[in-house]
């Protein structure tokens, strides 16, 4: 990947993230629930979803209107536990219901990432500096045709594909990469227990977050 192309791609991911976090503060919305869910350290609770097939490939979704990709994820409402939030987000973002998937496991603890300074709204109180996430790994039981993006007024995604298990580390916006690697490492072990062929650690040749930005004309 050339340096110019790599820079443009990272900027595209930044733009997608900027749209996403700006949407949290759209005029006219009621943010009382959102504000109350921010913890004392400034992290908002959230769930992430790794959906896999029997070949160990994972559901990789394209954000609406931009060239940026990620796993399904979303905030936990005040009246929800993480699993309830996961099933709601699964329905809203992919059109899949509980009967379409098998829950194989989840991360034991919260995984946190901080937002870049440019996304922190310092004039908002309480201050939200990032997200803390519980990640779930699911096996798809239904046909791919059950995936739909029209179950909410503002769909999160407009496309998707199956990718090799560790490919998302090379595509996701940089400030989420460490959380992705931690979640995928922990949940990859669970997939192996169910006989789903996944390398529990990324290949040595996979670009690390610190290396990605240095990729020149390779």
Q: Summarize pLDDT for 73-127 with one digit per residue, the tens.
A: 999 998 899 999 999 999 999 999 999 999 999 999 999 999 998 878 877 778 8
At 95 the pLDDT is: 96
User: What is the pTM (predicted TM-score) of this model?
Assistant: 0.78
Please state, as a whole number, how many other Cβ atoms lie within 10 Å of the Cβ of residue 52.
23
Cα-Cα-Cα-Cα torsion 149, 151, 153, 158, nearest 10 degrees, comes to 0
Q: Is residue 30 part of a domain?
A: yes
- The stretches in the chain having pLDDT less than 70 are 1-36, 203-218
20 with 12: CB under 8 angstroms? Answer: no
- Would you list the DSSP string of the chain? --HHHHHHHHHHHHHHHHHHHHHTT-TT---HHHHHHS-TTSEEEEEEEEEE-TTS-EEEEEETTSS-EE--EEEPPTT--HHHHHHHHHHHHH---GGGEEEEEE-SS-EEEEPPGGG--TTSSS---EEEEEEEEEEE-S-GGG--S-SSSS-SEEEEEEE-TTTHHHHS-GGGHHHHHHHHHHHHHHHHHTT----SS--TTSPPHHHHTT----
Q: Is residue 132 part of a domain?
A: yes
Query: CATH number, domain at 148?
Result: 3.90.79.10
| Bridge partner residues of 140 (DSSP) | 101
178 with 132: CB under 8 angstroms? Answer: no
At 37 the pLDDT is: 81
Q: Is residue 28 part of a domain?
A: yes
209 with 178: CB under 8 angstroms? Answer: yes
Q: Is residue 209 part of a domain?
A: no
Q: Is residue 203 part of a domain?
A: no
Structural domain count, the chain: 1
At 81 the pLDDT is: 95
Q: Is residue 202 part of a domain?
A: no
Its domain, for residue 117, covers 3-196
Q: Is residue 54 part of a domain?
A: yes
At 86 the pLDDT is: 98
210 SS3 class: helix
Q: Is residue 60 part of a domain?
A: yes
At 50 the pLDDT is: 98
């Amino acid at each position: 990947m050339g340096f110019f192309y790599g820079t443009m791609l990272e900027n595209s991911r930044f733009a997608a993230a900027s749209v996403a976090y700006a949407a949290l503060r759209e005029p006219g919305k009621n943010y009382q629930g959102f504000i109350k869910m921010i913890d004392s350290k400034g992290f908002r609770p959230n769930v992430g979803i790794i959906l896999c097939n029997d070949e160990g490939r994972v559901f990789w979704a394209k954000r609406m209107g931009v060239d940026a990709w990620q796993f399904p994820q979303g905030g936990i409402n005040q009246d929800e536990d993480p699993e309830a939030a996961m099933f709601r987000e699964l329905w809203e973002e992919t059109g899949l219901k509980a009967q379409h998937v098998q829950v194989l496991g989840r991360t034991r603890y919260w995984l946190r990432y901080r937002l870049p300074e440019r996304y922190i709204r310092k004039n908002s109180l309480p201050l939200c500096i990032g997200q803390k996430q519980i990640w779930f790994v699911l096996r798809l039981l239904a046909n791919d045709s059950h995936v739909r993006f029209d179950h909410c007024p503002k769909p999160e995604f407009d496309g998707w594909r199956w990718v090799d298990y560790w490919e998302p580390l090379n595509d996701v916006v940089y400030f989420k990469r460490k959380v992705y690697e931690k979640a995928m490492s922990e949940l990859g072990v669970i997939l192996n227990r169910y006989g789903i062929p996944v390398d529990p650690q990324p290949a040595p040749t996979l670009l690390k977050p610190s290396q990605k930005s240095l990729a020149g004309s390779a």
